[in-house]
Structure 1
């Protein structure tokens, strides 16, 4: 009988490893699937990591080496190869110690060094901001993951252990890490099909972000558990008996819904606290795919299905390769029973996702187009996205937008299934088929009928894209598309317009802007041109036209400068001075006439759009303003605008409230508004309904936060029944 590997290594001089928290458990886990020589390599990596991190202590007071060992143990439970375990033990030495990547490659293995480098942050480079540093490090990690998915598995395990030990951190840092985990790493785990890891990350993040809500919800679920068990036992028994009569070999089990998913249902008002006790869930595992559908028929024979709640993710898997049948039944006493039916292999893939490739290699042969293939497709799309975005921060936002696939399924005319996020439009569909189809998208037929390109698609529709060589991406598409692929491709195309096309577009825009000053472009003196170009620091007219065409300069602003140098300066300055305070509220509009739509009353924090109007300059509307329906017919007059960082003024906004009809109510309300720094410009009593009155106020606020504070305090007043911002 061979000597235990860890004992032999201790005798060779590696004394101290057995004292590391978790190390003996790690070795026992590795012995279940690795050979002695591989475990010896892992132990050598642990010894090196312990020496490299010597003297470093975690906030919990433990030696730092306990963290890499815990990360390695998480990966060992996934049965990853020994190089992944070594990289987990070494994953912080490049970032937190003087050790170089080349030294790790020389001591251990170039493959291990690449894995460690992929997980390490960029700490040696100075960035302008912390956000830029985080985005660059994330980009580096995602590119490394596209070469080797084990990089992301190590990072997810690292994040999981950090979340498990988050309590020792400051509250603000704890919330920041939890929020990042919830918006980035849990969705990545979901995209890789690692459901068990995703669920734990989400629940740990929920507990860190909302500890009181987490505790109340956990107590509520615990109290309801006894009654739920009795109902589930009854359901399981009925299903087992019915499946046995039909000779379907199956395992029927009850399952708990994790707390974060219940919290989301509460937050989205899908259910109430009281109804949480009535949430029941079961799972049926069978041997073969055809048994899934037989079991479904049996279940629908025992309990009636809830209409519209059946989902077939076996025929049409989710984006991460997840397969199962989902249905909701009217159970005993009319309580809803959420039922999942899947094979044992589908269960494995649903829980561990891409990790199943290491645990059970046979799954790759039996599940073509499964989790591994979907992960590779996603990584390929990530690589395409990276090539087309302008910066690491834009890349990070694009990836985040791609990580929440609440999906619909639509079909090409040839019957190919396309998965798109809810709210996707035909333009998203076109880019999902192929970039060239998106770039040449002229019109669309949905179920053989022509519809606008901005129409949201629905499940089961057949979509046919009509293309034209004379068509190119329209900047207006950015206002309604939803997928990161479409957004990055459109931006890439617009940024890379040929110089002559951009210059021609810029020339047309400038000619149109000069008509406001009764100037003709070709009649402007060369001396005036020279002064303007020197003043703007641009080499020549063509370069200026190109910059306008690419959106780097606004044509009205350039037209104003030309007008100043042609003798119209006094009139231009007088016009600008009357609107200077408005212009300063919008970035890049200094010296331009800027007005704010009275229909929607935009305020800082609103998503806005600029519209060129003769006589009124740039008119600012909110993007949900109903009056924009007419303007959408003229996308050439739209301008992308942003609020200035700190607009030093107040903005009018209209609020509508319903209040009790009693003496002194108006005085109470106006006094409360004055206390909250809101100036009342106008008030009208819209209508009276017996004991209530409908009041409309026009008040001035600094931004959306200021407005939200005002509405919150007004709503708390006993005389106010309801209050909210008026819609245009």
Structure 2
């Protein structure tokens, strides 16, 4: 759908009335000093007139001065600041070499100059999309320009918004241009700038760019859909008017004051839905659509209930973007129903604030930037955070077209984005470590990795990386990974790609070396887990191997995981126990947890529970329990008026209760720790157990003053063997710890 634009206010001679134009701009956004914007307009006009007088007029008849004013109007609608508007007004003059950045800085200062310079650098996108224009640009220069563009976006999002405004004006202006130019501009806008507007959450610019681009890229299909929309416009409007009247009446009965409108129809989105779902025009739900704007979030769901009570909901056609916003911050409820006359109707429900964000995206928060409204400032920073997580593209220019697709697809939450020391961006799986990063850069760098810096600070190789961090790998002279890297309990490698490269390296080593290393690993782990009595013949048979040497080679080369060997050994010793369970008898259920249905009671015995009739809590509600006399525990909603009165009058009988599944089954295990005695040893062990959320049942310590050894016996609760192995590994890494192993007691009941 194409935007309808008001003409610039003019004087009697046809020139733009700058004072009237600035007054109109001032109604849309705040101007700190309108005189500065006035000076920018006059200067841009003078530069254009000078070019005309020098017979260096624009080739296509477009006025760069008026284009600058149009760009400023778009930015004013986005609520941008005065510096952005000034930069928009003078940008085309700089681009067309009517002046330079030095003069801009002299007149308007460094901020405006930075914005204009940033928009100029974004011209690299146009070059990459038009190979015929690359004569003066080397492939390396194009990659460097694209990198600078992204850095500029991170530094100041206003640069991207000014460029979007400039491209919006460009696509509007090619209506009467030659077909080749229309197609070239439309291709660029569709591939780069419409997706960028989407990622920034600026809905109304995205829709206009998509519709205008589609108009020139697929003129036949554009005209076909436009004709179908126009033919049924009157009937559709009458239908929507009737729907809105019925909705308005029902919402008022529910005490919801809502603003209800018919939603704009966007030709490209209709065509895309037809293509994606393989349906014809009559089956597109949002051809008939209304939007409901309500004051508060809770009203959204109340209004949704009203809609679904009026008309039958279509299965699989409901999306809750309020509880689960899109990655660009978009929030709204979408539903499709069988409306009056059996026609499909789409309904969008959102608050006024959500609507403003959907239309203006990052700009909805721009007005708060640098003010004292911290919460809004944080919201703005969160909205542009994706720019720090944005892209990876290949170094070869032949693949630079992938940039469009990288921008178009939704940001994947299971990926993180990291900077190399020279500014390149690599994407990796969430949970990746510096060692994973080293192997992502190059196999040999991974093999020779001996340390890492994150943001200039030395970190362990099992540090979990976060989006936006810069990673520098420290390599050593000797190339070769450590076998500890394959131990999942140590957390060095969390990506399958890196693990496969390490395993391959060990496969290439001599069989004898692998056998020796594997033997040491297996025997050490079985001893530590108190499984020394394992019958190797049975173990090899159960694992499907031919010999004990094959077992050691497989473990030493990384083909067989040590944890799997331990679990099989555990099954052999006590075959009646599940491989993931410990061989010890489970502890009796704790008497400090009571259950009634799905309500769990903390701190008391198994008491009878009942749901309060006054507030009727349902699973998911915050709840609190009240111990009655003879009737067990009554469960109230936390905000129940009766519960609040009880809190004031009888607070000692209120207890914590919660919804949820049964507690995880745990097993008591005794572990033995031997260490050189030092101050704080018991504290460090206790802190580690607390961090792992391990419950300690019993602790005893003994210190030998003659040799300065400390021995600790702890009885802890563990859910499975994997957790026990990981815990013993973590304890072994504590300073001064010599040994940490499981302490089996054969006579235990």
TM-score (norm 1): 0.52
Compute the displacement of 1:353 (Å): 1.1
Q: Determine the structure 1 residue equivalent to 2:358.
A: 350
> Are the structure 2 counterparts of residues 45 and 169 from structure 1 closer, same or farther at C-alpha, using a change threshold of 3 Å?
same
1:400 maps to which of 393, 404, 425: 404
Q: Determine the structure 1 residue equivalent to 2:240.
A: 232
1:120 and 1:378 map into 2 onto residues whose CA distance is: 22
Q: Is the 8 A contact 2:122 2:146 kept in 1?
A: no
The answer to whether structure 1 residue 431 and structure 2 residue 429 are counterparts is yes
The answer to whether structure 1 residue 308 and structure 2 residue 316 are counterparts is yes
Q: Determine the structure 2 residue equivalent to 1:97.
A: 97
1:152 and 1:359 map into 2 onto residues whose CA distance is: 16
Q: Determine the structure 2 residue equivalent to 1:588.
A: none
> Are the structure 2 counterparts of residues 368 and 69 from structure 1 closer, same or farther at C-alpha, using a change threshold of 3 Å?
closer
Q: Is the 8 A contact 2:84 2:112 kept in 1?
A: yes
The within-5 A match list for 1:276-355 is 276=284, 279-355=287-363
Q: Determine the structure 1 residue equivalent to 2:33.
A: 38
The within-5 A match list for 1:110-509 is 110-121=110-121, 129=137, 136-276=144-284, 279-358=287-366, 372-382=380-390, 385=391, 391=395, 393=397, 399-406=403-410, 431-432=429-430, 436=434, 439=437
Q: Is the 8 A contact 1:87 1:116 kept in 2?
A: yes
What do the CA deviations read for 1:475-515 (whole angstroms, capped 9, x no partner)? xxxxxxxxxx99x99xx99x9895868899xxxxxxxxxxx
Q: Is the 8 A contact 2:319 2:335 kept in 1?
A: yes
Q: Determine the structure 2 residue equivalent to 1:708.
A: none
> Are the structure 2 counterparts of residues 360 and 107 from structure 1 closer, same or farther at C-alpha, using a change threshold of 3 Å?
closer
2:384 and 2:364 map into 1 onto residues whose CA distance is: 14
> Are the structure 2 counterparts of residues 170 and 159 from structure 1 closer, same or farther at C-alpha, using a change threshold of 3 Å?
same
Compute the displacement of 1:268 (Å): 2.6
Structure 1 stretch displaced more, 33-42 or 256-265: 33-42
Structure 1 stretch displaced more, 314-323 or 164-173: 164-173
Compute the displacement of 1:115 (Å): 0.8
TM-score (norm 2): 0.50
Q: Determine the structure 2 residue equivalent to 1:726.
A: none
Q: Is the 8 A contact 2:318 2:335 kept in 1?
A: yes
User: SS of the counterpart of 1:308?
Assistant: strand
Compute the displacement of 1:274 (Å): 4.2
1:217 and 1:208 map into 2 onto residues whose CA distance is: 14
User: SS of the counterpart of 1:340?
Assistant: strand
Question: Aligned pairs, how many?
Answer: 435
Q: Is the 8 A contact 1:313 1:322 kept in 2?
A: yes
Q: Determine the structure 2 residue equivalent to 1:108.
A: 108
Compute the displacement of 1:48 (Å): 2.5
1:275 and 1:79 map into 2 onto residues whose CA distance is: 37
Q: Determine the structure 1 residue equivalent to 2:74.
A: 74
What do the CA deviations read for 1:186-219 (whole angstroms, capped 9, x no partner)? 1111111110111011111111112222112111
Q: Determine the structure 1 residue equivalent to 2:422.
A: none
- Higher Rg: 2
Q: Is the 8 A contact 2:338 2:345 kept in 1?
A: yes
> Are the structure 2 counterparts of residues 151 and 98 from structure 1 closer, same or farther at C-alpha, using a change threshold of 3 Å?
same
The unaligned stretches of length 5 or more in structure 1 are 1-14, 411-417, 421-427, 443-467, 474-484, 505-548, 550-632, 634-728
User: SS of the counterpart of 1:323?
Assistant: coil
Q: Is the 8 A contact 2:434 2:473 kept in 1?
A: no
Compute the displacement of 1:141 (Å): 3.1
Q: Is the 8 A contact 1:29 1:77 kept in 2?
A: no
> Are the structure 2 counterparts of residues 368 and 68 from structure 1 closer, same or farther at C-alpha, using a change threshold of 3 Å?
closer
Compute the displacement of 1:80 (Å): 2.2
2:352 and 2:372 map into 1 onto residues whose CA distance is: 14
What do the CA deviations read for 1:9-57 (whole angstroms, capped 9, x no partner)? xxxxxx9998545746532323436788722111222232233342253
User: SS of the counterpart of 1:271?
Assistant: coil
2:202 and 2:212 map into 1 onto residues whose CA distance is: 16
Compute the displacement of 1:327 (Å): 1.3
2:43 maps to which of 48, 64, 72: 48
> Are the structure 2 counterparts of residues 366 and 230 from structure 1 closer, same or farther at C-alpha, using a change threshold of 3 Å?
farther
Name the Cα RMSD after superposition.
4.5
2:251 and 2:15 map into 1 onto residues whose CA distance is: 50
> Are the structure 2 counterparts of residues 197 and 36 from structure 1 closer, same or farther at C-alpha, using a change threshold of 3 Å?
closer
What do the CA deviations read for 1:221-273 (whole angstroms, capped 9, x no partner)? 11122222233233222222221221122122221320000111223343213
1:437 and 1:311 map into 2 onto residues whose CA distance is: 39
Compute the displacement of 1:170 (Å): 2.7
1:346 and 1:98 map into 2 onto residues whose CA distance is: 42
User: SS of the counterpart of 1:311?
Assistant: strand
User: SS of the counterpart of 1:57?
Assistant: coil
User: SS of the counterpart of 2:315?
Assistant: coil
What do the CA deviations read for 1:586-642 (whole angstroms, capped 9, x no partner)? xxxxxxxxxxxxxxxxxxxxxxxxxxxxxxxxxxxxxxxxxxxxxxx9xxxxxxxxx
2:462 and 2:433 map into 1 onto residues whose CA distance is: 16
> Are the structure 2 counterparts of residues 297 and 434 from structure 1 closer, same or farther at C-alpha, using a change threshold of 3 Å?
farther
1:84 and 1:430 map into 2 onto residues whose CA distance is: 35
User: SS of the counterpart of 1:318?
Assistant: coil
Q: Is the 8 A contact 1:30 1:39 kept in 2?
A: no
2:344 and 2:371 map into 1 onto residues whose CA distance is: 33
> Are the structure 2 counterparts of residues 98 and 235 from structure 1 closer, same or farther at C-alpha, using a change threshold of 3 Å?
closer
Compute the displacement of 1:114 (Å): 0.7
2:240 and 2:207 map into 1 onto residues whose CA distance is: 22
> Are the structure 2 counterparts of residues 376 and 39 from structure 1 closer, same or farther at C-alpha, using a change threshold of 3 Å?
same
User: SS of the counterpart of 1:90?
Assistant: helix
User: SS of the counterpart of 1:268?
Assistant: helix
